[in-house]
Structure 1
Amino acid sequence: MLSAFPAHAALTVNVTDHGARGDGTVLDNGAINRTIAAVSRAGGGTVVIPRGHYLCFSIRLLSHVSLRLAEGAVIEAADPARHAGKYDPPENNGEQLYQDFGHSHWHNSLIWGDGIENAAITGPGLIHGAGLTRDGPGARWAQQTGERPLSMHDMSAEEIAQLEPDIALMHGRGNKAIALRNARNIRLSGFRILKGGHFAILASGVDGLVIEDLAIDTERDGIDLDCVRNAQVANCRVNTPNDDAIVLKSSLALGRAIPTEHVTIRDCTVSGYDMGTMLDGSFRKTQDLAPDRDRVTGRIKLGTESNGGYRHIRIENCRFERCRGLALEMVDGGVMEDVVVRGIAMRDVTTAPFFLRLGDRRRGPEGTGMGAIRGISISGLDAEKIDHRFAATIAGLGSHAVEDVELKDIRLTYRGGGTAADAERRPAELADAYPEPSMFGILPAWGLWMRHARDVRIDGLHLETALADARPPILAENVAGLTVRRAPLWHA
């Protein structure tokens, strides 16, 4: 494979030249880090990891270095409970109040880069996070309103503690496969990740990021882009039954509100098959619920953290398989605007095919205001076998409407089966609740439910149910400026 940075081809160094064994028994992170440091001191180049099995704790990526995983190369995350070592400690960033532990630290990772530029990781090898943990403490926000999905409401303190252990238990452990902070001009391409911990990839404050041709099959989040700009995710396949596959965030992890802007996600497939069965090709479907006790996840999402807002986002020609649908969520202040979604195919949708939610959690410092959603265009979306409980949803608040939304050439096919009692339901406002399509329960419409919206334009909407459904296909409550062309069609 050609280097992501042609200048890096001038110097190529094999990690075995610095003592790496690749036998799956001896720890190789020391040798790999020596190689990276030597290449960086020389002005940059390519570090080659040849065929072999490299057991590692933290690997520190540096500027002007490409890390190339050759065919047959496996970097395996070591387990501090079994191997003589530990991951780099999480940074002391002070009290992290407004996002969880995983979002707030980077160095406690298998591979990390902090403040670097012109660096790359390329394939076709495998990163196996066998010794990583998917867990970490939640946010320490005193108010705690809307901290967890309503589907977790009945979980005991002991069950929550299993998912969110105390911070003291995290020292020495790693919970991300790849983490990048305040970096510039980064390329990730051509490799695979199996079991990537809390995040297979966390990129925070990165300007100029290309992620392409990756295959990720993991137990929690796949690709998280937080406060990034000028980024592209292309031709990736991401399987995450327990959490989101590709998610954009704009949290306060870097100490201030920073927008995520100028991001394109294109030609990607996201899914919620049993973990590991996308990479092995079996695509099994035995898991029904994610750890939040809602159905399997695996989607593309903007949110939940939204303090800095989102601008100029494009999601194009992507496929959703056996997972929740597209979610655009603003509950912590910030503005979401100029989001264009087009050419989307969905099959076996486990919640709503699309979910636009403006809420009022306001997880942030004093003075955090209400957010806004405006300038959203969704076109060419075709979804089949959608869970009958959850219509496509646009839901603002009475005081703050979702505004300026275009729906064009939308085709939605539901399983059907809603009852007359379902049609009478009027969901609570739940202004400060964690946003999820299931938060409102079974909806009173089966195709499209809108509440507290303004200037919604529908141009071509086809709705079908496999079984009869007693609810109306469309319900609009407090929607001003609703216009419809090519009158909606629906069939049962």
Structure 2
Amino acid sequence: MTLTTFKAYPQVYNVRDFGAAGNGTTLDSPAINAAIDAAAQKGGGTVLLPAGIYLSYSIRLQSNIHLYLDAGAEILAAFPGKDSGYDVAEENPHNRYQDFGHSHWKNSLIWGIGLENISITGFGKINGAGLTREESRLPGVGNKAISLKLCRNVTIKDISMVNCGHFALLATGVDNLTLHNITVDTNRDGFDIDACRDVRISDCTVNSPWDDAIVLKSSYALGFVRDTENVTITNCFVSGYDKGSVINGTFQRDEPQAPDQGFVTGRIKFGTESSGGFRNIAISNCVFERCRGLALETVDGGFLEDVVISNITMRDIVNAPLFLRLGARMRSPEGTAVGRMARITLSNINVYNADSRYSCIISGIPGHNIEDVTLQNIRIHFKGGGTREDGLLTPPENEKLYPEPWMFGTIPASGFFIRHAKNVALNNVQLSFEKEDLRPSLWLEDVQGIRVGNYRTPLPTGVKPYLLKNVTGFEVKGSDFEMKN
């Protein structure tokens, strides 16, 4: 007797069968949610959006749902009406510890809370045209494209996302998250990865001129501290070109500023929300273009430890190419202690055409050092133009300010400003300048143990290679300093 085994495949639920019109004018979110409900009642399945434009308010994910956007399918966020709109933001007693947008999930185009085994894939588009980039508290207003809270086993891949409001993706407390081959061209943050574990971000393009492109956070939005840890980011392109001009291939540069009045953003960053910490993170093979530089920030009490960043190339960087800040903003529950930053390795980094006002910055605060930092194989071409007067400045501490390089004003170093640090190594560093820069290359204060090897930089006549204040254990080998000092 021959026994034939039949394999059961998950059912496909076509949203057209549930009444979706896909014409861009009929509100289709009720039909999409009905298809999700039907699939969930059978234990899960694929909810298919074939080609068409699906005008929508909140789409509510459920466990074991695969939302598939076929090529030519577009979920279009609807503008709220007088008596209709997105799901209302849920209550959160911990609002005061992070911005409104970080503290709520239901006021979104697509959201899920407490789910597992969910995916959003396909070659379609999510268009958040009806979302606001402001942190609106008005009922019915949506300000995020995708929001996930306390979910497990999540995959998002291949889709494109535009005009996504405050976040293209807000993932808070999500474990085992994969983001792959996603194109985002948006008006605020791209990916906000907050209090998440086991995260893989690969082969993504994120253009976000008015905010950060890929940002790791560790807020108090869940009502408890939860580190962001075990994260890899690889093969990604981040930028600050004019909104919409990367996805359409024009790469325009007409808009110079972000809402914080700084130049365009579009970078990879740790922080600012940092009540929890950041641990065991690797970033590699990424390109920054026309944006701010790499920023590692912990200012609310979290530990930022065990981070390796390598093979990064940057071009047209509008502030400090490298910014490491341990601060004491302390936007956390009362009694939280100042955090820690330690065991950081940055290697194989190439930067061309960087703003010289802020050089590169590694800055802790009095009594709290950044520790065990290695920078190796670093090449930076700065705009230059720093004056002798700039080299005499002493930047303020500004321990509690929001961290951005301009918090210190013009930096008195042409290469690296390092303050309140311990055990720092600069190996094989080469600096060059479009215009002559008359500031010392290194400006060091309250540094315990710094080793400089094969450090190359032009030193104009009469310019000291470094300025030291309360520095111990300063070692220089095989560098231009030995010849010029």
Shared fold (TM-score, shorter chain, > 0.5): yes
TM-score, normalised via structure 1 length: 0.91
CA distance in 1, matches of 2:255, 2:218: 30
CA gap of 1:340–1:417, structure 2 versus 1, over 3 A, is same
Provide Cα deviations, 1:201-246, integer angstroms capped at 9, x if missing partner: 0000001000010000000000000000000111000000000000
Amino acid at match of 1:355: F
SS of match in other structure, 2:366: coil
CA distance in 1, matches of 2:366, 2:15: 60
- Structure with the larger RCO, 1 or 2 (CA within 8 Å, 6+ apart): 1
User: Counterpart in 2 of 1:32?
Assistant: 32
User: Counterpart in 2 of 1:68?
Assistant: 68
SS of match in other structure, 2:35: helix
Provide Cα deviations, 1:57-77, integer angstroms capped at 9, x if missing partner: 000111111000000001000
Provide Cα deviations, 1:281-340, integer angstroms capped at 9, x if missing partner: 100001111110011000000001111111001111100000000100111001110011
Q: 1:220 aligns with which of 181, 188, 192?
A: 188
CA gap of 1:450–1:9, structure 2 versus 1, over 3 A, is farther
Q: 1:449 aligns with which of 417, 427, 434?
A: 417
Amino acid at match of 2:128: G
Amino acid at match of 1:248: L
Give 1:93-492 correspondences, 5 Å limit. 93-136=92-135, 167=137, 170-490=138-458
Determine if the alignment matches structure 1 residue 49 to structure 2 residue 49.
Answer: yes
Asked if the contact 2:94–2:103 (Cα under 8 Å) also holds between the matched residues in 1, the reply is: no
CA distance in 2, matches of 1:342, 1:462: 16
TM superposition shift of 1:9: 5.4
Structure 2 unmatched runs, 5+: 1-6, 461-485
Asked if the contact 1:8–1:46 (Cα under 8 Å) also holds between the matched residues in 2, the reply is: no
Amino acid at match of 1:228: C
Determine if the alignment matches structure 1 residue 14 to structure 2 residue 14.
Answer: yes
Asked if the contact 1:394–1:449 (Cα under 8 Å) also holds between the matched residues in 2, the reply is: yes
Amino acid at match of 2:356: H
CA distance in 2, matches of 1:449, 1:27: 55
Asked if the contact 1:462–1:490 (Cα under 8 Å) also holds between the matched residues in 2, the reply is: no
CA distance in 2, matches of 1:53, 1:487: 56
Higher CA-based Rg: 2
More strand by share: 2
User: Counterpart in 2 of 1:91?
Assistant: 90
CA distance in 2, matches of 1:104, 1:487: 45
TM superposition shift of 1:45: 1.2
TM superposition shift of 1:95: 4.9
TM superposition shift of 1:25: 0.8
Provide Cα deviations, 1:377-407, integer angstroms capped at 9, x if missing partner: 0000101100111111100112111000000
TM superposition shift of 1:8: 10
Aligned residues: 454
Asked if the contact 2:94–2:220 (Cα under 8 Å) also holds between the matched residues in 1, the reply is: no
Amino acid at match of 2:245: T
CA distance in 1, matches of 2:415, 2:253: 26
Amino acid at match of 2:111: W
Structure 1 unmatched runs, 5+: 1-6, 137-164
User: Counterpart in 2 of 1:139?
Assistant: none
Percent identity for Structure 1 against Structure 2: 50
Amino acid at match of 1:132: L
CA distance in 2, matches of 1:104, 1:295: 27
CA distance in 2, matches of 1:307, 1:266: 26
TM-score, normalised via structure 2 length: 0.92
CA distance in 2, matches of 1:313, 1:9: 37
SS of match in other structure, 1:487: strand
SS of match in other structure, 2:95: coil
Asked if the contact 2:94–2:221 (Cα under 8 Å) also holds between the matched residues in 1, the reply is: no
Structure 1 stretches (4+) deviating beyond 3 angstroms? 487-492
TM superposition shift of 1:94: 2.5
